[in-house]
Structure 1
């Protein structure tokens, strides 16, 4: 029986990144729960070919490989920092390259980070509709965290840890 694969994708371009750390935390929790292989990347890992790509074939071999690994994963954890009330532009550009049917039925935990609570609906008003377009199976529990929920790059908020736990349970059930 093939091993379950969990793939995390973070829509940030800075390092170190709270969003990347958050995605890695969620991926780690789900991988532990499912005894799965885990992989995390961010937009920056795709390299410069992403910027000019109009379709997947325009990406370099490494970036196409990253896309293929994501498409082959059993579940995704997708997160973005919040800029001006939405996900990042490169994050959206990456998903614009995908075939609209490529994520159909795939379990996805959606997450976002931001500077304050005023952006908390980004997961419901921006990310959920995006993955609804792809007919992905976005988990009912989406997770938004602010910088106050982290300390030294780690999730320190018990409320956020509980939401992560709930989303992980939902995804684990969806994976089967």
Structure 2
């Protein structure tokens, strides 16, 4: 099982920290899980404009391939102006819907106001629905106050939600793979 964590931002560190913590927890729960982090700020991803995948630059092609071959995902974004980042939306636009179909997604987000937690429900879950992906029932939203001055996640309730999300993603993937929808395709 390949679990890909996606930090869907080009700035800051809190989103990446949240995604990494879910990946580490998933590995702790299920040591055979192959975890990988895709931090979008490490790549020069071109804007999606409808052309063939082969005509994008190497970084864009590599990112598309990493996403396409993963079995399940933990996808993170900071919330800016009440929305996901443009970088993450661009990534979704680059990916073929068939690449994400029937795969499990878990979501994490962070922001400066407590109201932004609804972006997971109102924006990320509908995107997953478009891709016909399965969504973990829980999610993680972390406010700036949940981190200390070193950007370490210190809030015990948020840390518990991180652990729960990791369990849900791993459990859902294995449950579906062992006889659910994959057996009836």
Determine if the alignment matches structure 1 residue 100 to structure 2 residue 91: no
- Partners of 2:85 and 2:64 lie apart in 1 by 18
1:74 shift after superposition: 2.0
Counterpart of 1:54 in structure 2 is 50
Counterpart of 1:124 in structure 2 is 121
SS of 1:31's equivalent? helix
- Partners of 2:50 and 2:27 lie apart in 1 by 33
- 1:77-96: CA deviations, max 9, x gaps? 10111011110112101111
TM-score by length of 2: 0.85
Stretches of structure 1 lacking an aligned partner (at least 5 in a row): none
Counterpart of 1:86 in structure 2 is 83
- 1:80-113: CA deviations, max 9, x gaps? 1101111011210111111122201111111111
> What are the residue-to-residue correspondences of 1:134-145 with 2, within 5 Å?
134-145=131-142
Determine if the alignment matches structure 1 residue 28 to structure 2 residue 37: no
Aligned-residue CA RMSD (Å): 1.6
Counterpart of 2:181 in structure 1 is none
Counterpart of 1:71 in structure 2 is 68
Change (3 A) 1:52 1:164: closer
Counterpart of 2:157 in structure 1 is 159
